[in-house]
Amino acid sequence: MYLFLAFLMVPIIEIALFIQVGGAIGLWPTLAIVVLTAVLGTWLVKTQGRLAFGQLRSSFEQLNDPTEPLAHGAMILVAGALLLTPGFFTDAVGFALLIPQVRMSVYRYLRSKVTVAKFQMGPGTMHGRSYPGDGRRDPRGDVIDGEYEEVKTERPRSGPSGWVDGPR
């Protein structure tokens, strides 16, 4: 329901703002502002995205929880999409998402709404199973997964093999 209202209200708000701003300052200055905010927004998204990617890489290298840098990166991506969308309302929301304090507030709000059942990092964990190096034993015992094929062996022939130099 909220998504439907957003898709309905955002274009109406944008059209109303275009009419108001265009009536106040004229067509060409209004279009220049829209293009200028798209260019400025692209540059800001690029620089903020690099910073967020650096923080994400750092959290992976230090084996820290990557949730916050990933959330910041996602919000920067949404901000970029909003800034490239022509309009004043979407530009305002996009520029707001580029402010780190606003992103942190949105992250805290979203974090309070989401419950994480289990989070585990480190060697030996994948899909809830234990693997060598994690210190846990598999309840099924030692299991080795592999493929095999029976090979019929011929009777060894008498005399030296062709692989070694023996007495002739």
Residue 71 in any domain: the answer is: yes
Averaged confidence pLDDT in the chain: 81
Residue 132 in any domain: the answer is: no
Residue 10 in any domain: the answer is: no
Residue 22 in any domain: the answer is: no
pLDDT in tens, the chain (168 residues): 888 998 899 999 999 999 999 999 999 999 999 999 989 988 988 988 898 889 888 888 888 888 888 899 999 999 999 998 888 999 999 999 999 999 999 999 998 988 877 766 555 544 445 445 455 555 566 667 778 788 777 665 666 665 655 555
**Alpha carbons 96 and 119: distance in angstroms, whole number:** 30
Residue 153 in any domain: the answer is: no
Residue 14 in any domain: the answer is: no
Q: How many domains does the chain have?
A: 1
**Alpha carbons 147 and 19: distance in angstroms, whole number:** 71
Residues 6 or more apart whose Cβ sits within 8 Å of residue 131: 123, 124, 125
| Domain interval for residue 40 | 31-115
Residue 140 in any domain: the answer is: no
pLDDT of residue 86: 87
- The encoded tokens of residue 59 equal 């959290």
Residue 13 in any domain: the answer is: no
